[in-house]
Structure 1
C-alpha cells in the first residue's frame, strides 16, 4: 500500500457514516409526524431555535459590583475553540438574550429588527457571526434538528427527480388551513399549557404553493395523495450553502437592486413556462428567501437605501416579504442588524425613518471598560500559538489594554479620584474609602462610558506593527508598543479633534508612569524575596508590636536584657505603606487583633495572609538590601562577581515568579537600575 493510500485508509476509518446518514435523513410526511409527536420542538420557529441554541451551551451566574448577571457560555465560542470569544460584555449580551427570550415567547420583540449599536470594533459583527455559527452548529445536533421537504417530479426520461423547496419551508405548512386545527388538536393533546405547543404559522412560498395546487387538482382535491409526492428531509443550516443563514451588505447605490433581498425572475425559464409570473420562472434566492428558518445579518444596516428599508419593515413587523410579481410571502427568520454611532444619530434626526426606529430594538454594544477583559482580547490574538519565534515581554499587552480602556472612561466627578484609580476600581482593586456601592455610582454617572474611545482593532494593529518593526529582536516590550500607539495617533483617521488627540497622548504618559511603578515594584519584590529574611523581620516586628500594645518590654536576643520596643524599627516598616504617626496605634492594634482572631480559630499567623503588612515588610527589606546588591551598578559596564551573583538571583526570581525570560528580565533590571541611577524612586517604592 502506498503512503497516499494508507493515509486515505486511516481517514476512512475515522468517518462516522451513521452520523452522516442521520444528518441526511429522508422519509415520508407520516414519519415526520411521528417525530413531531415525540418531540414537538422540531417545529420551533427561528427565534425559539436561536434562544434554545444559546441556552444549550449552559450558563453561569456572576456578580459584578453587587449586581447579578447571567453569563452565557455560548459567547465564549466553544464551537471554534474561543476564536470569536467575547469578553467583558456580560450586560449587553444579557440584554440581547433577554430580547431573544421575549421573542421566543411571542411577546412582541419577534416583530422587531435587533439593532446592535456601538462604536467601531466593539464586537457587533462578532456577535452576529457567533449567532450564525451557532445556528449552523445547532442544526447538526439531535436537539437542534429541523426538517424541510422536496417535490417529486417525473423527468422526460421517466426517472424521478426531487426538487427542493426553495425556502426550506416547515413541512407542517403543507397542511391546508381547514385541516390545521384538527391536526394540532391531535398533536397537542395531553400537553399542559406550560408544555411546548405545536403551531402552524404562515403559508407556503409561491413555488411550493403552485406545486401543491397543481397536484391537488390532479388528485381531485385529495390532500393526502399530494403527500405521496413529497419527501421530508433533515436540513442543515449553512451560510456557505445559503441555507437558513443570510448576510446582506450595502453596496454602491447604482449597483444595488432590491431583488438581492427577495429574488428575481429567471428569464431563461420564461420561454419554458410562458409567463414571468409563474413561480417556476422565478429564483427565490434573495437573502430573505435563503435565510428562511434561520437568521439574516444586515451589515451597517442604516446605510441601506430607502427601498431596502421598506422591505426590512415588512419583514420585521409582518414576517412577510414581497417578491417581484408575487403576493406577500411568509418568512420565519431572526433579523439582526448592526450600526455605529454616526449612522444611528442620522436615524434619530431623520423624521422619514420614524417607522424604522419604531420597529427596532436597540442593544448597545460598548467597548470593554474592565482592564482584565481587554487584556484577554489581545491575549487571544497574541498568545504563544499565534506569535511564533518571538516573545512578548510581561505587561506589554497589559499597558496597551490599560491605555485603550483609559480612553473610554469618563473623568470621575469625584475630584479626589484619578482616571487611573477609576480604572483600577473597575478592575476589582480596592481603594481606601471606596465601596462596591461607590463603584456602582461611578458607572451610573457615566452613561456614555465605553461608547467612545480607542478601538481594540487600532491597538491590535499597533502591536502587529511593533512585532514587525522589531523583527530582529527576540522580544517586544511595552515601550515598543507604546511608541507605536503614539506614532499612530498623528494619522488616526477617526480622531478629527486635536483636543481628543492631546488627551490620548497624555494618557500614554499616565500609562508609562504606571508601568514604571509596576516594574519597580516587581524588581523590589524580587530583591526582597528572601523568605527567611522576611520571616525574621516579621517576627521581630510582631514581637515589638505585641510588647508595645501590651505595654511590655522586649527581650534582647543577644544580651538577654529587657528593652523598650524598637519604635524606630516599627515606624520604618509602617511608613512604607503610608501609616501616619497619628494612626500607628490603630494599625498595631489591628495587627494584634488579626493575630488573635487567627489564634481563636486554631490558625497560626503568616505575614503573607496580610497584603498590606507583606508589602511593608518587602519594601523595608528591599530598602535594607538594595545598597548591598548595588543595583545601580548595572548601568555601568563593569559588575563585580559578588554583585553579579546577587543580580542573577534577582533575575531568576523575575523569571520564576513574574513570567520574564532571560532577555526581558535583563531589560527590566537595566531599566529599573537606570531609574535608581537617576535617583528617581519614591520613598517606599511607589
Structure 2
C-alpha cells in the first residue's frame, strides 16, 4: 500500500509540474510576454548556440594534466560542458561546430548554410546531432501559434505594415510569414482579428515531431518530396478545391523541424533533385508547399552527415555546385589520443549491461590497437612513438627526450583519423573475449588480443590492410 501511495504521489507531482509550465493566451497576451523578455523570439541557430553555451565552458589549459598542456601548448581551445561528458578527443571538431552556431546565431552567412558532418563510421557524427536534439527537448518550451502544423512564431500574425512599429515597441526583429493554413484560419475563423488568435507553449519533442525533424535516406527509385515538405490530403479533395489550404498536410521533416533542427541521415544517398528543397530552406529560408500553395517560410538548422566516400563522390560532380556552395563541412575524425579512447570504452561499458570484470590494461591494449590503425606512417618516428606523442607523453630514448613537434606531425598527414578501426569493432572484440570466458566473467589483455586477431583475420578487409593491422 505504501508503494502505491508513493507511485501516486510521484505521478501527481509530475503532472502538477508539467501543468504549471503550460501557457495559453492570445497574441495580445503574448506581446506582453515578449516585451518583458524579447529573447524568447530568437531564431533556431541562436537557440541552439545559447543551449550549448548555457552549460558552461572552460579553457583546455585549465587542467592539472601535464599531457594536455604539452599537447595543446598555446592553442586557445575551449571545452564545452554540453558535450564534455559524452565526447572525447574531438575538441577541435566540437569547437568548429560551436563556431558555426555562433556565426549563424549572429545571422551571418552561415545561418543560411547547411552544417555537414563528414567522417568514418562510428566516429560520433549521429551522436553529436542526437546530443543537440536531446538538449532541445530539455530546454523547456517555445511559444507557437495554436493549431499551426509548423508551430510557427506568433509574431508572424502581425501585419507587415505594422511590423516596424511593433519592432520598436518590443525591441525585436520580426522575420517570416504565416503558413497557408494559419493565413486561411486568420481570415475564416477570426475575421482577420489577429490579436485574438490563440498562442500556446509547446515543448520540443523528437517523438511528437515538434521542432525536431529527421530525414532518413530514401530509396532512389521511390523518392517522394512529401518526406520533406508534406503533401495534400487526397481524401479532402472531393470537399475542397486543390488550392484550398485545408487540404494541406504540412508534416514533412522541414515543416516539423521549424524553430529547431532537421537531421539528414546519410544525406548524399539521396538523389540531387531531392536535395533542392534543402537549398531554398537554407538560402531563402522558404520551402515549397505541396500543390499550388506557393512558398512557406521556415526557420530551422539543417545538419547533415555521411561518410567520406559519399562526400567525395558528390563533390566530384560539378553539377552539384549550387548545393556545395551552401555547405559548411566539419570533419569528424576518429579520436587519436590514447587516454581519451579509453574513456570512450569506459563510457560505453558504463551505459551498457556489461558487468564483467575488466582486468587492468585491457582497455588500454584495445585502445592502442584502434589508434595505431588510424595513424599514418611517418619517417620522423615509428607509429608507437607517434601514438605516445599524440597522447601528450614525453618519449625518452637512450636517456634523451625525443624532440618531435606534434603539430608538425599532424600537418604532414592528410587523412589521419579518417580511416582505421572503429569503436564498434573494439566493443565487438570485448564482447567476443567475454563470450570466450563466460565462466570467469572477466576480460583481460590476453583474451582481448586473441579476439582482435581473430576478428581482423575474419574481417572484410583488403589483404594489405589486414597484414598491417595484424603486425
1:247 matches 2:214 = yes
- Quick one: structure 1 residues 314 and 55, their matched pair in 2 at CA, closer, same or farther if it must change by over 3 Å? same
Using the alignment, how far apart are the partners of 1:356 and 1:434 within structure 2? 49
1:44 CA drift (Å): 0.3
Where does residue 179 of structure 1 map in the other structure? 162
Correspondent of 1:211 among 173, 177, 185: 185
1:74 matches 2:82 = yes
Question: Which consecutive aligned stretches of 4+ in structure 1 deviate over 6 angstroms post-superposition?
Answer: none
1:9 CA drift (Å): 3.1
Q: Deviations over 1:294-314 (max 9, x none)?
A: 000000001112231111111
Where does residue 459 of structure 1 map in the other structure? 426
Where does residue 134 of structure 2 map in the other structure? 133
Flag the structure with larger Rg: 1
Where does residue 607 of structure 1 map in the other structure? none
Using the alignment, how far apart are the partners of 2:349 and 2:176 within structure 1? 49
Using the alignment, how far apart are the partners of 2:117 and 2:185 within structure 1? 39
Where does residue 427 of structure 1 map in the other structure? 391
> Contact conserved, 2:27 with 2:194, CA < 8 A, in 1?
no
Using the alignment, how far apart are the partners of 1:344 and 1:49 within structure 2? 29
1:380 matches 2:347 = yes
- Quick one: structure 1 residues 7 and 93, their matched pair in 2 at CA, closer, same or farther if it must change by over 3 Å? same
Using the alignment, how far apart are the partners of 2:3 and 2:429 within structure 1? 44
Q: Deviations over 1:195-224 (max 9, x none)?
A: xxx1111111111111223357x4xxxx5x
Where does residue 72 of structure 2 map in the other structure? 65
1:13 CA drift (Å): 5.8
Correspondent of 2:142 among 143, 146, 160: 146
> Contact conserved, 1:23 with 1:236, CA < 8 A, in 2?
no
> Contact conserved, 1:276 with 1:282, CA < 8 A, in 2?
no
1:384 CA drift (Å): 9.4
Using the alignment, how far apart are the partners of 2:322 and 2:401 within structure 1? 46
Where does residue 280 of structure 2 map in the other structure? 314
Using the alignment, how far apart are the partners of 1:447 and 1:22 within structure 2? 55
Using the alignment, how far apart are the partners of 2:37 and 2:326 within structure 1? 33
Where does residue 653 of structure 1 map in the other structure? none
Using the alignment, how far apart are the partners of 2:294 and 2:15 within structure 1? 44
Where does residue 53 of structure 2 map in the other structure? 55
> Contact conserved, 1:65 with 1:437, CA < 8 A, in 2?
no
Q: Deviations over 1:21-75 (max 9, x none)?
A: 2322112222211111111110000000000000010001014421121111101
When the two chains are superposed, the root-mean-square deviation of aligned CA atoms in Å is 1.8
> Contact conserved, 1:58 with 1:72, CA < 8 A, in 2?
yes
- DSSP 3-state at the match of 1:376: helix
Correspondent of 1:479 among 443, 446, 456: 446
1:492 CA drift (Å): 2.2
1:357-506 → structure 2 map (5 Å cutoff): 357-383=324-350, 386-388=353-355, 390-414=356-380, 417-432=381-396, 438-493=405-460, 495=461, 497-506=462-471
1:501-516 → structure 2 map (5 Å cutoff): 501-506=466-471
Q: Which has the higher contact order (CA 8 A, sep 6+)?
A: 2
- DSSP 3-state at the match of 1:148: strand
Using the alignment, how far apart are the partners of 1:9 and 1:265 within structure 2? 44
Where does residue 254 of structure 2 map in the other structure? 288
1:347 matches 2:314 = yes
Q: TM-score, normalised by structure 1?
A: 0.64
Q: TM-score, normalised by structure 2?
A: 0.93
> Structure 1: where are the runs of 5+ without partners?
77-81, 151-163, 189-197, 507-686
User: Where is the helix percentage greater, Structure 1 or Structure 2?
Assistant: 1
Where does residue 202 of structure 1 map in the other structure? 176
1:279 CA drift (Å): 1.2
> Contact conserved, 2:158 with 2:194, CA < 8 A, in 1?
no
Using the alignment, how far apart are the partners of 1:384 and 1:128 within structure 2? 19
- DSSP 3-state at the match of 1:247: strand
1:437 CA drift (Å): 7.2
1:9-28 → structure 2 map (5 Å cutoff): 9-12=8-11, 14-15=13-14, 17=16, 19-28=17-26
- DSSP 3-state at the match of 2:455: helix
1:226 matches 2:194 = yes
Using the alignment, how far apart are the partners of 2:403 and 2:82 within structure 1? 28
Using the alignment, how far apart are the partners of 1:213 and 1:249 within structure 2? 37
1:7 CA drift (Å): 4.0
> Contact conserved, 1:69 with 1:91, CA < 8 A, in 2?
yes
> Contact conserved, 1:258 with 1:307, CA < 8 A, in 2?
no
- Quick one: structure 1 residues 393 and 260, their matched pair in 2 at CA, closer, same or farther if it must change by over 3 Å? same
> Contact conserved, 1:43 with 1:170, CA < 8 A, in 2?
yes
- Quick one: structure 1 residues 215 and 39, their matched pair in 2 at CA, closer, same or farther if it must change by over 3 Å? same
> Contact conserved, 2:219 with 2:270, CA < 8 A, in 1?
no
Correspondent of 2:263 among 292, 297, 316: 297
- DSSP 3-state at the match of 1:240: coil
- Quick one: structure 1 residues 435 and 176, their matched pair in 2 at CA, closer, same or farther if it must change by over 3 Å? farther
Using the alignment, how far apart are the partners of 1:434 and 1:441 within structure 2? 17
